[in-house]
Amino acid sequence: MGHLFGKDYSMDHLLEVAKSIALAVHKTPQITGKTHIETEIIWGDELDPILAVMEPMALMFRFVHWDYETIKTCRERGESPVIVAIGGKADRSDLAYNCGACGFDTCKEFNAYAKDQGSGGGQLGGPSCNWKSLEYSMAADWACTAAWHANVENRIMTSLGIALNMLGYMPDCNSKLGLVLGPPREMVYYSRDDVRKIMSYELDKLDMIRCIPWQFEGFPGGGNPMYKIKDDWWAPPDFMNVGYSEMAMDGMQKILFEIVPEIVDKYSGAVAERYQKAQKTKKK
């Protein structure tokens, strides 16, 4: 006998779906059969450090902004999503393909560069052997497809990957992505309804002007075209100005190298401790 109500059991079941997705990730076919793949399932309060890292980055990157707002809003509404974290180790090559895809003639040269450069560089954790990175992304794709087949609202997010990387999740991996699952309704992560409070006509228009300027370009014959960014665009006209932006670069510097590291410092110890504990248990 029993009676399950509404969305409560759906939210609980997300975890079970996440486990099935993790199984699919590890079942993904590989070309080399040598790429190390990991999965972790993160939910509840464990999302808070991830959101804390995403918050300042949202000021810098629009794609992080949208992801952050959506996950945060769901969480605040009591529909906290579940994240399947997918990691891969692609920063060394044991393939000896010497194929040149990485830009070096041999895997040995690539490995020497990677050792010198250090792992987990950049936002997404390069350098990478392209065959291994390809296999890692295949695993990430199977995670998405498994979620799709389970009819669970989902989206794979680079923004989550960056946050996982910064906080030190999956320390044996250099490439990381996060697949966010639930809540159980449509259009949470595509045509997002929850970004209404941060979205405005003006902001969208500004993005359009910055990202696809040719859409607004006037007659180019004079060599310095006017831009039609208001109804009476000719009076007075606007012109494109391309140059170094101290404001943008200073902002990025401050966020990436001051604000985010402070947040990471606050949480990364606890994350690392968890892996150390797991390691000890494994040894026993």
Partner 1 sequence: MKKYVEDLDFRGEEHISEWTPWSPQDIRRKKCALEAARLMMNSALTAPCSGAAPQIEGHIVYGQEELEAIARKIEEIAHKNPNWKEPFLYEAVMARDSDVILFIGNTRCHQTPLDGGCGLCGGTLDCGYFYNKKKHKLGLVDNTDRSSTRMIDGPLCTSRVNDLGFAVASALWTARTVLVDSRPFASMGIAGQKLGYCPNSGMVVGVPVATKSKNAYVDVNVDYHLINMERALDNARKIYQTTRIIRGFDYRKWIPKPK
Nearer to partner 1, 95 or 195 (CB): 95
Check binding of 243 to partner 1 (CB under 8 A). no
Q: Is 178 or 226 the residue whose CB approaches partner 1 more closely?
A: 178
Q: How far is the CB of 125 from partner 1 (least distance, A)?
A: 7
Smallest separation, CB 40 to partner 1 (Å): 19
Min dist. Cβ of residue 152 to partner 1 (A): 15
Separation of alpha carbons 162 and 248, rounded Å = 20
User: With respect to partner 1, which residue has the nearer C-beta, 35 or 80?
Assistant: 35
Tell me how far apart the alpha carbons of residues 90 and 104 are, in angstroms, rounded to a whole number.
15
**In whole angstroms, what is the distance from residue 31 CA to residue 229 CA?**
50
C-beta of residue 140 within 8 angstroms of C-beta of residue 83: no
Tokens (6 digits) for 43: 């939910």
Q: Considering the rule CB under 8 A, would residue 56 count as an interface residue with partner 1?
A: no
Q: Which is nearer to partner 1, 29 or 223 (CB)?
A: 29
If one asks whether residue 130 binds partner 1 (CB under 8 A), the answer comes out as: yes
- Give the nearer residue to partner 1 in terms of CB position, either 105 or 273: 105
CB atoms within 10 A of CB 125: 24
CA distance 127 to 150: 34
Instruction: Tell which residue, 201, 196, 236, 231, has the closest CA to residue 216.
Output: 231
If one asks whether residue 200 binds partner 1 (CB under 8 A), the answer comes out as no
Q: Identify the burial level of 36 via C-beta atoms within 10 angstroms of its C-beta, where 0-12 means exposed, 13-18 middle and 19 or more buried.
A: middle
Q: Is 66 in the site for partner 1 (CB under 8 A)?
A: no
DSSP of 120-148, one letter per residue?
SBTTTTB---HHHHHHHHHHHHHHHHHHH
Helices (H), 102-245: 107-117, 130-149, 158-167, 201-211
Q: How far is the CB of 277 from partner 1 (least distance, A)?
A: 29
Q: Which residue, 28 or 73, has its beta carbon nearer to partner 1? A: 28
Total residues interacting with partner 1, rule: CB under 8 A: 48
Q: Which of 122, 185, 193, 217 binds partner 1 (CB under 8 A)?
A: 122
Q: Please state the closest distance from residue 264 (CB atom) to partner 1, in A.
A: 16
Residue 18: exposure state from Cβ atoms within 10 A (0-12, 13-18, ≥19): buried
Which range of residues in 48-56, 123-131, 218-226, 262-270 is near partner 1 by CB under 8 A? 123-131
Distance CA 264, CA 70 (A): 21
Q: Which residues 25-44 are close enough to bind partner 1 by CB under 8 A?
A: 28-32
Subset of 136-165 contacting partner 1 (CB under 8 A): 136-142, 144-145, 156, 158
Residues that bind partner 1 (CB under 8 A): 28-32, 91, 95-105, 113-114, 117-128, 130-131, 133-142, 144-145, 156, 158, 175
